[in-house]
Amino acid sequence: MLEKTPSDRPDAAQRPEADTVGPHAVPLTLRVNGMTHTLSITPETTLAQALREQLDLTGTKIACDRGACSACTVWLDGAPVCSCMVLALEVGAREVTTIEGLTDREALHPVQAAFIEHDAIQCGFCTPGLIMSCVALLKRTPHPSEHEIRAAISGHLCRCGTYPHVLSAVLAAARTEEA
Ligand code: FES
Ligand code: FES
């Protein structure tokens, strides 16, 4: 196999100007839970890391750190995303909502209260992510069927096996909102 010799390689000075940042920290502005934050982050920092390590919003959990479990779910402009799969630099002007921003902290969100009522929490590591997906579901589908709830939480891994309780909790929260 022919290997490229140094003389075959384009000279760095001839390469098109790359739109790169880093490896050093760069400034970043993030809108999180209704507040604007100015951070200094290295380009490989994920949104999950920025939230936990720079903003102290540790309700967002990092479990697999590779998009497989959904424990790190937050909202970007109201849509659930795995924050371990989003670079903080990619967020741009979109509004980030974490579990801490779900309510004004004076009271629990009805879905949080229903999780407690229906014993849908064991170790709790998957819980914030699950709640973010369940609340997003109720916002777009206030009266979901069991099938719709299962579909909404299908990417969430709960090693403690709370799924039947999560289902009951979301159905109950939907009824509460109805009342
Ligand atoms: S920690 Fe992000 S998907 Fe598992
Ligand atoms: S409650 Fe333990 S992983 Fe879900």
Average pLDDT, the chain: 91
Q: What is the pLDDT of residues 21-60, one digit of tens each?
A: 878 999 999 999 999 999 999 999 999 999 999 999 999 9
Separation of alpha carbons 51 and 56, rounded Å: 6
- Ligand 2 atom, smallest distance to 120 CA: 1
- Ligand 1 atom, smallest distance to 48 CA: 2
178 to 27, 144, 166: CA distances (angstroms): 45, 12, 18
User: Does the C-beta of 63 come closer than 6 Å to ligand 1?
Assistant: yes
User: Does the C-beta of 126 come closer than 6 Å to ligand 2?
Assistant: yes
- What is the residue type of 65? D
> Does the pLDDT value for residue 9 go beyond 60?
no
- The verdict on 85 and 54 lying in the same domain is yes
Task: Confirm whether 60 is domain-assigned.
Answer: yes
Tokens of 115: 């999780």
Q: Is 169 helix (H, G, I), strand (E, B) or coil?
A: helix
Separation of alpha carbons 49 and 29, rounded Å: 15
pTM over 0.85: yes
pLDDT of residue 17: 55
- The verdict on 85 and 130 lying in the same domain is no
> Looking at 1-5, 129-133, 160-164, which range is the least confident one?
1-5
DSSP per residue, 28-96? EEEEETTEEEEEEE-TT-BHHHIIIIIS--TTS--SSSSSSS-TTEEEETTEEEEGGGSBGGG-TTPEE
User: Does the C-beta of 162 come closer than 6 Å to ligand 2?
Assistant: yes
Among the candidates 47, 75, 99, a domain finishes at 99
Among the candidates 99, 134, 154, a domain finishes at 99
Residue nearest to ligand 2 atom 4, measured at CA = 158
pLDDT of residue 32: 98
Domain that holds residue 88: 25-99
Pairing of strands 73-76, 95-97: antiparallel
Residue nearest to ligand 1 atom 3, measured at CA = 67
Give the pLDDT band of residue 177 (cuts 50, 70, 90).
low
> In 3D, which of 79, 76, 78, 19 has the Cα closest to residue 48?
76
pLDDT of residue 21: 83
